[in-house]
Structure 1
Amino acid sequence: MFVDQAILRVRAGRGGDGAISFLREKYVPRGGPAGGSGGKGGNVVAIASSQKKTLYDIAVQKVYEASDGQPGKGKNQYGKDGVDTVLVVPIGTQIIDQKDNQIIADLTKERQEVIIARGGRGGRGNSSFATPTNQAPRIAEKGETGEAREIRLELKLISDVGISGLPNAGKSTLLSVVSAAKPRIADYPFTTLHPNLGVVNHHDQQFIMVDVPGIIEGASRGVGLGLEFLRHIERTRLILHCVDLSQFYSKNNPYDDFLTLRHEFEAHSSSLAAKPFFVVATKLDLIQAAQNFGEFKSTLEQQDIPVFGISSLTKEGINQLLDAIIEFLKNAPEIITEEILSHSKNIGSNPAQPRHYRFSTPFLDRLMTEIDWNSDNALSIFNQKLVHSDFLRYFSAIKPGSIVEIGDLNFIWTGKHLETDKTYSQ
C-alpha cells in the first residue's frame, strides 16, 4: 500500500546513572572511588534507502523508542550504551517536528541519515568527582532523559518530470507508453489513486517521470485527491500539463480546463506555479480532439507556452515530446535540497545574502546556558563541546558562510567550526 505521510512519537533512551563505589581489593588499602559512568541512551535515527518506496510499514507502528543506557558499575566499569532505533525511510522523505512545524531533516540521498531524537548522556560515577581535597566523593550523576518528540514524515518523490492534469486526461496512459511503468488505466475518472514512477529511455538518454492523481477544480481547498499528492511534483524539474482535447469527460472547452489546472497550482503554492511546464494536448486520435487542436495550440503559443499534441494510442507526437523534454533537461538546473536541523529562513530578498538557519534542540539549549559568553575563550569552548558531542556533523550539510542561529546568538559556519557573526547579530 502506498503511504506518503505518517505521524509518529519517538523517544530516545535515557542515560544510565553513574555509580558510587570504592575499590575493595586485597593488598589495596583505601582503594579510593571506583564508580563508573552510565552508558549513553540510544538515539532514534532515520536512514534513507532507495529500496523503500512507501512509508506504510513505518506508519503501522505509532511509537518508536530507543533503549536506555545501563548504569555504571564498580571498578570504574562504564555502563553499556543503549541501542539505537533505526527508521529506514524512502529517499525524498522530510521529517517535520509536529510541535512547531519545523523541518528536522530532508533525506534526499542514499544512506543519508539524521538523528531524530538524541539519547541522554550517561551520569558520571563518583570516580569522576575525586579531587585532591575530596578524595572519597560519595556523589554521582543521574543519567539524562532522552529527547522525545512527535514527528511527521512526508514523502516527496524525486523525479525529473511530473505529469499533471484533470481526471482522465491521459496521464497514466502516457506514462505507460513512454516507460515500463504499469499504472492502473480505465475509462473512468480517478483511476489513479497514488503516484506512479516510471523510467523513460529515449535516444540513449534516461529520466524519471511521475504521474499523480487528477486535479479538479477546488483541489487547493481539499477537493478530490490531487492536492494530497501535489507534493510529489514539487521536486520535479519540468511539469507536463495534460489536457484532454476530446471533451469527452469535461463540459468546458480545453483552454478552460488548462486555466483551471493553472489556477489550482497557483493556489497550492507559488513555488509550484513558478516551475517550467509544457502543455500536452492528448487523444488526438479522436476526431473532436483533432478538430480542437489547431485553435488550442494557437491560443497557447500566443502566450509563448510550449504545446505538444500527442496520441498515446497511435504514438503520434510522442517522439517529438520526448525530444523536447530531453533537450530541456540538458540545461535545466538540478533539484537542490539540503538536510537541515530546522526550517531555514531567508534574510531579505537579496539572493547574494547568506542563507540563515536556526538550530534548536534541548542539547543546544542546555549547552548555551553552560557557556560563560563573557569570557574570551567562550567560542572556543563552545566549538570543542560541539566536536566532542559529534554535533558539528549537522552543520556539514549547509554551505560555508551560512548564518547559524542558536538561541539568541548568531554565528558564521566556516565549514569546520563556528565563528562570531557581527554583521547579522540580533
Structure 2
Amino acid sequence: MQEEAEVAQFPRPLSPQASVRDAFGAAVRDLRVRRHLSQADLGSLVFVSKDQIGKIEKAQRWPTAELIADLDRELGAAGLLQAFEPGLRSQRRIAQPPLRRVETTLERAALDWLTTSTGEVRILGSRDDEAVDEEDVAAVVQQLARFRELDHQHGAGRTHQLVSGYVAVDLEHLLTRVPVDEATATKLYATAAGFWELVGYQAIDLGRDDHARDCYLRALELTTAAGDRLYGGYLLAVSSAHLALHGGDVDQALRMARTGLHGTSDIADPTARSAFEAVLARGEARRGDEKAATKALLRAETQLASAAPGNAPAWIGYFTPAYLADEMAHCFHDLGHQVLAQEQAGEALSQIASGHVRRLAIDTALMASSLARAGDPEQACVVGREAVDLAAQTSSARSRHRIDGLRQDLVPYSDLKPVVEFGDYVRFALSD
C-alpha cells in the first residue's frame, strides 16, 4: 500500500519533447492533474479503462480521433488536445509498418494518376486562421535540402527518426492550413511530396519496403494536389520502379517506368526523361532482355547529353552523368558484361561527391561484385574491403545488402584465404 501511495504521489516522469505522442500524453496528464481527476475518474468520463488512460499518458497507446475529441471536451482543453490529432495521425503512419496491401494498390494509384491528374492545384488545408506564406514554405524547402544531405552522408538509420518527426509535427501542421495563394500552395505541396519521397527512400534503406510504398503513395497524392504532373511521373518511373526492383518484382518495375514515361511524354525535360529511361533499362536488364536494355540506355544517354544546364527541376538535379553511369553499371552487371560494368562503376565513383558515402559504398561493392564475377576474387576482396569501410560509416541497409550480394558472388571461391579473411572482416566491421 505504501508503494502504491508513493507511485500516486510521484508519477513516472514523462518526456513530452520525444515525439508528438509523448507530448500529447503529457498534456493529458497535466490537464487531468489540474482538475484533480484520477486516471479512473477520467476513464469513466470518456468510457475507457484506467489502464488505457495510463498508457495514453505514457505514450504507449495511440488515441483514436474520437477519444481525442472526448478527452478535449471532458478536460476543458478548448481545442488544445484536438490540435494534436493531425500530428498523431502522421506519426502513427510513419512509426508503424502499414498493413500489407494488395499487390494492385500501386498500379491502381498509377492508373488514377495517369487518367485524372489534371495539372491543377487542389487546396488541402482547411484552417484559415493562420495562412501559410512564402516564408513558411522557404523554411520547409531549406529543411528538406538539409535532411537530404544528412541522408546521403549517414544513411537512414541515423536520420530517419529526425526526418519522420519533422514530417509528423511541423509539416503536417502546415498542411492543415490554407496557403496565401496558389503559387504558395503549389510549392508547399510539392515540397511536402519531396519529404514523403525521402521518408519512403529511407524506409527502403531500413529494409521496410511496405512502408516505403505507403510513403510513395502519399507523395503521389501531394504532388497531384500541387498540380505537378512531372514529379508524379518521377515518383512512379524512378521511386516506385526502384522499390519494385529492390523487392525483386521486375514486371512491376517495368510497368511503373513505362507509366511514368507515357504520362509525362509531353512535359518531361531531357534530364527527367533520361532518369526514367535509365530505370526502364534496369528493369529490362534484370529480366535479361539485352536488346531492350541497350535501347533504353542509349535513349537515356542521348537525353542527358541534350539537357541544358540549369533547366531541369531542382529535384532531378542529382541525376548527373555519374548517376547515369551508376545505372549503366548495374545494367551491365545484370547482363553479365563485367568489363563494361567495371568501366561504368569506375566512371560513377570518380564523380560522386565524397560526402555521398552511401552511394560510394554501393558502387564500390558493385565494382567488387563485378570483379568476382569476372574471375578475380582476390581483387574483389581488396575492393570489397573499401566498400565495407564506407558502409561502416553509414547506417544503410541498402549498402549492406549490396555487400551481401558481393559475398554471394564470392561463394565459388570460398576456400581461398583472401575470401575467408574478407568474410571475417565483414563480420567484424559490420557486426552491429
Whether TM-score is above 0.5 comes out as no
Q: Find the structure with the greater CA-based Rg.
A: 1
Q: TM-score, normalised by structure 2?
A: 0.28
Higher helix share: 2
Q: TM-score, normalised by structure 1?
A: 0.28
Higher strand share: 1
